[in-house]
A and B are shown apart, each in its own frame.
Chain A
Amino acid sequence: ETGVTQSPTHLIKTRGQQVTLRCSSQSGHNTVSWYQQALGQGPQFIFQYYREEENGRGNFPPRFSGLQFPNYSSELNVNALELDDSALYLCASSLEGAFNSPLHFGNGTRLTVT
């Protein structure tokens, strides 16, 4: 069973730039969720993708966008980066339709915006 993998591990960007983070879901999972975890805080829900469409969104501006591909992998795109976007970005996969399907997380991408 292949777990959730995220790339890159670390990333440094400049304010105003754009970034793309990638996530491969665990085998057998068809839903991907993205979370932002600021230093010293709990993760905050960004959005979820199911069947290549956004299926729920947290309190994040439109410059946070995503994609899900037919193989269930996903991308998180952030435009016009701000210093406060510096955080650990966690991807999690699960099986939609199974309410009791727990999330399986990747190791995250550490984004630093300077």
Chain B
Amino acid sequence: AQTVTQSQPEMSVQEAETVTLSCTYDTSESDYYLFWYKQPPSRQMILVIRQEAYKQQNATENRFSVNFQKAAKSFSLKISDSQLGDAAMYFCACHNNAGNMLTFGGGTRLMVKP
């Protein structure tokens, strides 16, 4: 069974500053993907960034980047130059082909202060 843990229920960041959201996971699979999803009040889950476990290089998408530490089973999300529109719930998730499913963490609510 997979588990995903997000230890920060809430985080706050000043506009234009940088914030890091934490995530740890556990899986017995050797082949898996990790994701960060954003869920604004509109409720739609929006893919922010993904990381393939066999790739050592950390994924980057514009202002969003990850710190993937495979041995420690850690997958943190860094948001640079935070914007008001970044305010949302952020979910870390793990997917493996065997299970055909995403396992989500409990989420972190990010607040951005103007």
Contact = CB atoms under 8 A, between A and B. Distances in A.
Contacts of A42: 4, 91, 93, 104-107
Contacts of A56: 99-101
A86 to B, nearest CB: 15
A22 B11 CA distance: 35
Interface string B47-78: 10010100000000000000000000000000
A92 B103 contact: no
Interface residues of B, number: 25
Contacts of B93: 42
Contact of A107 (B33, B42, B91, B100): B42
A42 B103 CA distance: 9
A42 B106 CA distance: 5
B109 to A, nearest CB: 9
B102 A43 contact: yes
B47 A102 contact: yes
A42 to B, nearest CB: 3
A102 B35 CA distance: 9
Contacts of B44: 105-108
Interface string B77-114: 00000000000000101000101111111110000000
A105 B35 CA distance: 14
Contacts of B42: 107
Interface of A: 33, 35, 40-45, 48, 55-56, 58, 88, 90, 92, 99-100, 102-108, 110
